[in-house]
Amino acid sequence: MGMGRQMRPTVDEPWPLGIAGSALFHGLILAAIIFTFHRNFTAPEDSHVVPVDLVTIAEKTNVAAQAPPTPEPEKIDRPQPVLEAPPEPQMAEVEPAPEPPIPKFDIEKEKPKPVDKPQPTKKQQAQDFNALLNKLTAPDKPVKTAKAGPRVIQAQGLGNAMTADLMTALQNMIYRCYSPPTGVPNPNDLVVTYSLMLNPDGTVGRVQLLTLDGNSYTRAGAEAASRAIYGCQPYRLPPERYNEWHEITRMTFHPPEQ
Amino acid sequence: MKKLLILCAALLVASIAPAAAALQVDITQSNPQPLPIAIPDFLGDPQAGANIAGVVRADLERSGLFRPLDQKGFVEHITDINKVPTFASWRSITAQGLVTGQVAQQPDGRLRVDFRLWDVYGESQMLGLQFFTTPENWRRIAHMVSDAIYERITGEKGYFDTRIVFISESGPALKRVKRLAIMDEDGANPIFLTKGDYMVLTPRFNPTAQMIAYMSYIGTKPRVYLFDIETGKQEMLGNFPNMTFSPRFSPDGNRVALTLETAGNSDVYMMDLRSRAIQRLTSDPAIDTAPSFSPDGKQVAFESDRGGGQQVYLMGADGSNQHRISFGPGRNGTPVWSPRGDLIAFTKQQGSIFSICVMRTDGSGERVITTGHHDEGPTWAPNGRVLMFTREISNNRGSQIWSVDVTGRNERQVLTPGSASDPAWSPLIQ
């Protein structure tokens, strides 16, 4: 611990809290370490593994196409083409790929309820720690780093003054690549939300679509938003503040009224 | 001891704070651009492969929503459509979409066309389809490929595998010959359906796209005729003593709404094509004409001057609940209900200026969407977002057919064999 000799119990100054107190303190330190570095315990996601979805097609013939008959101006003779259902694509002998970033909507089914829960774990832990801090510190000496407490909770909600400039920077960088569908009957169908992680070099890491219900326009809008996210990388943001912009928990795309 | 506690607490808090920072961003601006897409010539027969890819590129470019890239700039050369492309090389030429395809002649003589649509950023296949047809139908296959790509990217149905029926005009100004004509939506394969020895006006498709209803002056009075495209036969629709005009099919193809004039008064009537029974829908002393069905067939939009000048009205398909919906400036007529159901397009006349407008079905949100001075007679593409209309050229030089997107963008001329007017858009060909 390196705290000097005051830590060692002596006859003159015994450890006031006893074994239980020592265990508690060790537990707190351990918890703090785990909490701080827990991200490093989760494996990083693979980026961009190319899925393979191939149709095995028999050998091609290389017969020249027949020249179409010259159409006679007055005679109407339009043979109808025969459409056959395309065969189900067969997987080739390669490892199956993870879900691509293209969102998949099951348009025929009923719309499921949107999943939109904030992550409660970290907030709860932060509150617990705050409560502990209040208990541990003496009443006449306020905790010097108290302002770090509210910041912990606020960061889960809207950005505060410290991150507003980052929000603006990202908005200005991404909108140029955002080309949503136009002329749709209901522009609200195009509103989609993603969460994403950015690498320190500003390239895009993991991207996840949070909007789960919608129609074919929603899918088109989500894909346009995804193209915007990938298209405008790398994002040039201050590297010394990487801890502030490495994760965007909610990026919502609102196409303007048409 | 208390100093120790405070110090440890500070350590705890300092270690918590940086880990939980997170950001939320709202993107409220956009930059709509045509999607850059790479469509190399299809593999297989070089001529067929180039022809089909060429039609697909032209279709997508003409929609105004895609920007096919020049093949000369391609870095990777596709040699096998079953191999995953090198997406980095397509990104390097700014392509966001990639289409690879091949054409093959089957042993039974049919043509087989395969294609795959790739998402370049997401590095995955978005779509893969196969088509079979007789070789002379290759243009239809190309249009179906375009429709599939269009629908997958935009979320809307395509409109490239459709036809336009229109009036083709030729001859000097004093002796104009008007013939009924039909062509592919991109202007290919124009065919004349009538010889021009009688006047034809306002052709309209029926929903199965094999029959056209139009007005003709065979004899002295205008009558509505049904023309069967496959057989070339035509028949008169009813034998009414007076004029009949402005026919329009119901979405199920079983009824035709038309205008009958009796004793100088024009009203909208409904005829059942199977029973030939006829029902009168309006009985106003004013001129009621130009009926157009809603996509569900339950309502009819029409033009009436019962309030003074021409305005757009709605009613039930049985003639009930007739009410006006156009309250914007000028005269408003020739309403056409969008196949999507959300909008009604119409012709607005203000002074000497005629323009194409759209409004919602309750009359709100009126917008002018064309820039010419004499634009009239709109018709919707089956996906309800593109319109064609007649644009008259000044100095009596005839007329042209133009198209425009429902947003008002991408106004462009449709190529026709000479002067043309009165376009009507077919449904997607079955």
CATH number at residue B65: 3.40.50.10070
| pLDDT on residue A24 | 82
| pLDDT on residue B12 | 62
Beta-carbon contacts of A258 under 8 Å, excluding residues fewer than 6 positions away, are A182, A183, A184, A187, B407
Out of A44-58, A201-215, B292-306, least confident range: A44-58
Contact B122 A226 (CB under 8 A): yes
Say if residue B221's pLDDT is above 70.
yes
B25 vs A contacts (CB less than 8 Å) = 159, 167, 170-171, 174, 248, 250-252
B212: β partners: B205, B227
Last residue of a domain, one of B105, B128, B154: B154
Question: Is the model more confident about A138 or about B133?
Answer: B133
Contact B15 A35 (CB under 8 A): yes
- Distance to chain A for B279, nearest Cα, Å: 34
| Residue A9: band (very low, low, confident or very high) from pLDDT cuts 50, 70, 90 | very low
Contact B16 A35 (CB under 8 A): yes
Same-domain check for residues B102 and B208:
no
Question: Is the model more confident about A196 or about A4?
Answer: A196
Parent domain of B250: 163-425
| pLDDT on residue B92 | 95
Q: Does B170 touch chain A (CB under 8 A)?
A: no
Average pLDDT in the B190-198 region? 85
| pLDDT on residue A67 | 35
Contact B229 A78 (CB under 8 A): yes
Q: Does A105 touch chain B (CB under 8 A)?
A: no
Same-domain check for residues B136 and B214:
no
Q: Does A214 touch chain B (CB under 8 A)?
A: no
| Residue B17: band (very low, low, confident or very high) from pLDDT cuts 50, 70, 90 | very low
B406 vs A contacts (CB less than 8 Å) = 183
Assess if residue B2 is contained within a domain: no
Q: Does B55 touch chain A (CB under 8 A)?
A: no
Same-domain check for residues B239 and B119:
no
B261: β partners: B266
Contact A218 B110 (CB under 8 A): no
Same-domain check for residues B203 and B334:
yes
d(CA B127, CA A42): 34
B32 vs A contacts (CB less than 8 Å) = 179-180, 182
Domains and CATH numbers, chain A: 120-157 (no CATH), 159-258 (3.30.1150.10)
| pLDDT on residue B222 | 80
B27 vs A contacts (CB less than 8 Å) = 171, 174-175, 178, 225, 228, 251-254
What is the pLDDT of chain B when averaged over all its residues? 91
Helix, strand or coil, per DSSP, at residue A192: strand
Q: Please give the residue of chain A at the shortest CA–CA distance from B47.
A: A65
Same-domain check for residues B226 and B349:
yes
d(CA B339, CA B387): 11
Say if residue A61's pLDDT is above 90.
no
Q: Does A23 touch chain B (CB under 8 A)?
A: no
Say if residue B178's pLDDT is above 60.
yes
Task: Please give the DSSP secondary-structure letter assigned to residue B273.
Answer: T
Assess if residue B23 is contained within a domain: no
Say if residue B5's pLDDT is above 50.
yes
Beta-carbon contacts of B60 under 8 Å, excluding residues fewer than 6 positions away, are B37, B39, B66, B68, B146, B149, B150
Same-domain check for residues B203 and B146:
no
Over the Cα atoms of chain A, what is R_g? 29
Assess if residue B184 is contained within a domain: yes
| pLDDT on residue B119 | 96
Which amino acid would we find at residue B419?
S
Q: Does B325 touch chain A (CB under 8 A)?
A: no
| Residue B319: band (very low, low, confident or very high) from pLDDT cuts 50, 70, 90 | very high
Same-domain check for residues B277 and B395:
yes
d(CA B363, CA B7): 71
Assess if residue B6 is contained within a domain: no
Say if residue B332's pLDDT is above 80.
yes
Assess if residue B8 is contained within a domain: no
Contact A178 B29 (CB under 8 A): yes
| Residue A50: band (very low, low, confident or very high) from pLDDT cuts 50, 70, 90 | very low
Return the residue in A76, A94, A137 with the most chain B beta carbons within 10 A, the one to mutate for interface testing: A76
- Distance to chain A for B426, nearest Cα, Å: 15
Q: How many A/B residue pairs have CB atoms within 8 Å? A: 285
Kindly report the number of other CB atoms within 10 A of residue B325's CB atom.
20
Average pLDDT in the A151-156 region? 36
Residue A206 and residue A230 in contact, taking contact as beta carbons nearer than 8 Å: no
| pLDDT on residue B226 | 87
Average pLDDT in the A82-107 region? 39
What is the pLDDT of chain A when averaged over all its residues? 63
Q: Does A19 touch chain B (CB under 8 A)?
A: no
A220 vs B contacts (CB less than 8 Å) = 153-156
Out of A188-192, B157-161, B213-217, B220-224, least confident range: B220-224
Contact B154 A60 (CB under 8 A): no
What interface predicted TM-score (ipTM) does this complex get?
A: 0.87
Say if residue B21's pLDDT is above 60.
no
| Residue A150: band (very low, low, confident or very high) from pLDDT cuts 50, 70, 90 | very low
The candidate with the shortest Cα–Cα distance to B128, out of A227, A57, A55, is A55
Average pLDDT in the A153-159 region? 41
Beta strand residue intervals within chain A, DSSP E: 192-198, 204-209, 247-253
| pLDDT on residue A14 | 55
Q: Please give the residue of chain B at the shortest CA–CA distance from A49.
A: B123
| Residue B426: band (very low, low, confident or very high) from pLDDT cuts 50, 70, 90 | very high
A167 vs B contacts (CB less than 8 Å) = 23-26
Assess if residue B288 is contained within a domain: yes
Contact B47 A76 (CB under 8 A): no
Assess if residue B324 is contained within a domain: yes
d(CA B411, CA B402): 7
| pLDDT on residue B11 | 64
d(CA B137, CA B111): 9
What is the DSSP track for B380-395?
Answer: E-TTSSEEEEEEEPST
Last residue of a domain, one of B111, B128, B154: B154
Return the residue in A59, A66, A74 with the most chain B beta carbons within 10 A, the one to mutate for interface testing: A66
Same-domain check for residues B238 and B147:
no
Kindly report the number of other CB atoms within 10 A of residue B174's CB atom.
5
Same-domain check for residues B70 and B173:
no
| pLDDT on residue A119 | 35
Same-domain check for residues B236 and B347:
yes
Structure tokens at B319: 């003639």
| pLDDT on residue B398 | 84
Task: Please give the DSSP secondary-structure letter assigned to residue A191.
Answer: -
Question: Is the model more confident about A83 or about B52?
Answer: B52
Contact B192 A184 (CB under 8 A): no
Average pLDDT in the A57-70 region? 36
Residue B202 and residue B215 in contact, taking contact as beta carbons nearer than 8 Å: yes
Average pLDDT in the B87-105 region? 96
Q: How many domains does chain B have?
A: 2
Question: Is the model more confident about A3 or about B80?
Answer: B80
Out of A82-86, B129-133, B192-196, least confident range: A82-86
| pLDDT on residue B94 | 95
| pLDDT on residue B188 | 94
Same-domain check for residues B139 and B238:
no
| pLDDT on residue A173 | 94
Question: Is the model more confident about B108 or about B1?
Answer: B108
Question: Is the model more confident about A5 or about B189?
Answer: B189
CATH number at residue B384: 2.120.10.30
Structure tokens at B248: 């329009």
Say if residue B107's pLDDT is above 90.
yes
Last residue of a domain, one of B98, B122, B154: B154
Same-domain check for residues B138 and B186:
no
Say if residue A32's pLDDT is above 90.
no
| Residue B3: band (very low, low, confident or very high) from pLDDT cuts 50, 70, 90 | confident
d(CA B83, CA B80): 6
B40-83, pLDDT tens digit by residue? 999 999 999 999 999 999 999 999 999 999 999 999 999 999 99
Residue B12 and residue A129 in contact, taking contact as beta carbons nearer than 8 Å: yes
Assess if residue B107 is contained within a domain: yes
Out of A23-37, B91-105, B148-162, B375-389, least confident range: A23-37
What is the DSSP track for B199-240?
Answer: -EEEEEE-TTSSEEEEEE-SSSS-EEEEEETTT--EEES---
